[in-house]
């Protein structure tokens, strides 16, 4: 799996690229951020990033192709990730390669082009031992937050955004529920179109107002009727003493 960072200031474009990368089933998206400062924080957190997908123009520096300048700076650092620049103008490609990028993606993005880019990145990546991430990148209105993965309770989609429910609180994440479900496939279960729960964090399966719910920490997580049999089976199969 290729461990990737997205640097894109427009949330819809950021989420869409994340979905395209997740759809290749060859990319683990470890962070998706909107500014150069956040990108620097993600690299400083030592998340073992193999590749960074960077929008050439970011609004945090009006009038300046800040993504291009960031790429030049990062490319000069030892152990820098492979860089892919995203642009709406093909003529920016040459400047991107001169900045140290190994590929560029022309907007609007397509699944085929993103998949081909991922193939190229994987072929160029130096072999190294895989290291499982121990933290999840989330955000508040002011900053990035690096949460221990073993404290995650559930993930929720609401108002076209995604959130992580953690023992330390509820935070926004820039990964879609589909990408999170793929990344945490061994430990999470989708109980509802808008919810993923960490199976080993479920304390109780019951009903509230006639609807099936899971008690996960202090959360009451809904279970849709079509998923109820699979949810019960998944919980029972991981525990002793229940009648099948």
pLDDT computed for residue 141 by the predictor: 84
What pLDDT is recorded for position 96?
Answer: 67
What would the pLDDT profile of 131-164 be if each residue is shown by its tens digit?
567 889 999 888 899 999 999 999 999 988 999 9
C-alpha distances in Å from residue 97, one per residue of 7, 32, 72, 232: 17, 22, 10, 52
Residue 231 maps to a domain: yes
Nearest-angstrom CA–CA distance, 43 and 210 = 47
Token pair for residue 104? Answer: 């560029």
What are the tokens at 67? Answer: 């993504």
Spatial distance between the Cα atoms of 50 and 59, rounded to a whole number of angstroms: 25
pLDDT, one tens digit per residue, over 92-143 is 666 667 777 889 898 899 999 999 999 999 988 765 544 567 889 999 888 8
Does 50 share its domain with 101? yes
Q: Say yes or no: 79 and 10 in one domain.
A: yes
Q: How many CA atoms lie within 13 A of 157 on its CB side?
A: 16
CA Rg value for the chain: 20
Asked which of 100, 124, 148 is the last residue of a domain, the reply is 124
In a domain, 216, yes or no: yes
H-assigned helices in the chain: 11-23, 36-44, 66-75, 92-98, 111-124, 177-183, 228-237
Same domain, 17 and 107: yes
Is the pTM for the entire model greater than 0.85? Answer: no
What is the Cα–Cα distance from 214 to 172, expressed in whole angstroms? Answer: 22
Examine the domain organization and report whether 77 and 153 are in the same domain.
no
pLDDT band, very low/low/confident/very high, at 51 (cuts 50, 70, 90): very high
- The residue segments making up the domain with residue 188 are 135-237
pLDDT at 64 over 50: no
User: Same domain for 90 and 146?
Assistant: no
Q: In the chain, how many domains are there?
A: 2
Tell me the CATH number at 39: 3.40.50.2300
> Quick one: 220 and 159 in the same domain?
yes
Q: What is the mean pLDDT of residues 50-74?
A: 75
* Average pLDDT of the residues in 61-75: 72
Residue 244 lies in a domain: no
pLDDT at 26: 92
Identify whether residues 97 and 180 lie together within a single domain: no
Q: What is the pLDDT of residue 184?
A: 87
- Helices 66-75 and 36-44 meet at what angle, rounded to 10? 20
Specify whether 91 is located in the same domain as 57: yes
Q: What is the pLDDT of residue 116?
A: 95
Q: Mark whether 164 and 188 lie in a shared domain.
A: yes
Task: Reduce the DSSP state of residue 170 to 3 states and report it.
Answer: strand
Whether residue 16 is predicted with pLDDT greater than 80 in this model: the reply is yes
């Amino acid at each position: 799996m290729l461990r990737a960072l997205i640097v894109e200031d427009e949330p819809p474009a950021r989420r869409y690229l994340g979905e395209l990368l997740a759809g290749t089933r060859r990319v683990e998206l470890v962070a998706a951020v909107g500014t150069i400062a956040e990108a620097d924080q993600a690299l400083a957190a030592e998340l073992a990033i193999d590749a960074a997908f960077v929008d050439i123009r970011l609004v945090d520096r009006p009038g300046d192709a800040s993504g291009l300048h960031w790429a030049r700076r990062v490319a000069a650092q030892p152990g820098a990730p492979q860089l892919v620049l995203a642009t709406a103008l093909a003529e920016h490609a040459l400047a991107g390669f001169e900045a140290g990028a190994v590929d560029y993606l022309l907007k609007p993005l397509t699944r085929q082009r993103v998949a081909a880019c991922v193939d190229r990145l994987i072929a160029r990546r130096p072999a190294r031992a895989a290291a499982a991430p121990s933290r999840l990148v989330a955000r508040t209105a002011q900053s990035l937050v690096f949460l221990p993965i073993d404290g995650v309770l559930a993930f929720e989609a609401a108002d076209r955004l995604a959130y992580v429910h953690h023992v330390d609180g509820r935070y926004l994440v820039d990964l879609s529920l589909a990408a999170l479900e793929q990344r945490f496939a061994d430990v999470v279960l989708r109980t509802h179109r808008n919810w993923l729960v960490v199976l080993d964090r479920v304390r109780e399966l019951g009903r509230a107002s006639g609807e099936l719910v899971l008690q996960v920490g202090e959360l009451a997580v809904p279970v849709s009727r079509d998923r109820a049999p699979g949810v019960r089976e998944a919980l029972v199969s991981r525990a002793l003493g229940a009648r099948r």
